[in-house]
Amino acid sequence: MRATPLNTQHSSLNIEFQVDLNLVQVIAIYALPVILAITLHEAAHGYVAMRFGDMTAYAAGRVTLNPIKHIDPIGTIALPLALLALGKLFGGGGMLFGWAKPVPVNFANLRHPKRDMLWVAAAGPMSNLAMALLWAIVAKLSISMPQSAFALPLALMGAAGVLVNLIFMVLNLLPLPPLDGGRILTSLLPHRMAYAFSRVEPYGFIILLVLLFTGVLGFVLWPLVSVALWIFERGFGVPFVELISLARAR
């Protein structure tokens, strides 16, 4: 897939980028940020659970930075690639969606199950926030050396890393079991309300799919992600939205 080169210049940075990306190049830009976002998110859950007394994830070999241990062939690879290809085929960006293998956690093994559940659940989104900050630094450094051959690829990958991790963080903080936000809310609610709320969990994934395909999930998610991107742009002085728009097959 070829396209006419696109030139863009961010006025505050005085940097000119020439972009001519095909679908394979877009996948290459997003591959590393997605793999790291998934791997560290899941490993963070297992590590914090281990620190609070549950060795289930450690025994299953999930407290590791090896992405193979966390990747689900369907949810991590096949479905996102299919959605990306369909989006480019029929036009529009759409929303990528997928999942990793859930880290096994036995909350009953935690020293203080209800309280410690909050920290185990929050570990995943907080790891994504940390990675978003690191990718923002990568983008900031790359645009500070515009004459380098690595400036544009690193800037695009840095912006992709910010976007991917902010989406992961915001999505997982939604208060719907079994998402991390649902578990955090379960931890904070009084016991009787927490028990009633936790009974939604067996239906949580189905509810999430319904929200996705009806467009409700995007309606809720994108404004929150946009606000987070705006904060990152102001904080780092990097045009993340513009860079993200460039990192698309044309």
Residues belonging to the active site: 42
Q: DSSP string covering 139-197, please? A: HHHHHT-TTSTTHHHHHHHHHHHHHHHHHHHHHHTSS-TTSHHHHHHHHHS-HHHHHHH
The answer to whether the CB of 23 falls within 8 A of the CB of 1 is yes
Token readout for 101 is: 């293998």
How many helices (H) and strands (E) in the chain? 10, 2
Q: How many CB atoms lie within 10 A of CB 91?
A: 8
Nearest residue to 157 via CA among 240, 98, 217: 240
Q: How many CA atoms lie within 13 A of 164 on its CB side?
A: 28
**Cα separation of 107 and 52, whole Å?**
10
Question: C-alpha 128: how far from its chain's center?
Answer: 6
Q: For strands 6-10 and 15-19, give the pairing.
A: antiparallel
Q: How many CA atoms lie within 13 A of 239 on its CB side?
A: 18
**Cα separation of 104 and 107, whole Å?**
9
